[in-house]
Amino acid sequence: MNVVILPEAEAELQDAVEYYDSKGTDLGDRLMEAYFRALDRIRDFPHVHPKGRLKTRKCKLQRFPYTLVYLIGGELIIVYALAHQSRKPGYWRGRLS
């Protein structure tokens, strides 16, 4: 399946990586690795993650408090957000329209 990542989700990733890089460790690189592993899981097993409201699915990143929010449409997976798990729940819902 093809994966499309909205620019807003890419910006969220960059912001998170910059935050972790500012801590002076390799946490930014570790976040990127966790992000790409999550994308691989979504691509390989798109239907395994629980379906939520508005038919979105959520894949939690390992070792980081972030979740990839996505929808499946035919042969296309659209990633709408890299959402922090304890901040502003559902802020990304406006991106679905």
The whole-number pLDDT of residue 97 equals 74
Sheet strand arrangement including 76-84:
2-5, 76-84, 66-73, 57-60
Q: How far apart are CA 67 and CA 12, in angstroms?
A: 11
pLDDT tens by residue, 44-76: 999 999 888 789 999 999 999 999 999 998 899
pTM of the model: 0.91
| CB contact set of 92 (below 8 Å; sequence gap of 6+) | 8, 69, 80, 81, 83
Complete domains list, the chain, with CATH: 2-86 (3.30.2310.20)
Question: What is residue 50's predicted lDDT score, i.e. its pLDDT?
Answer: 85
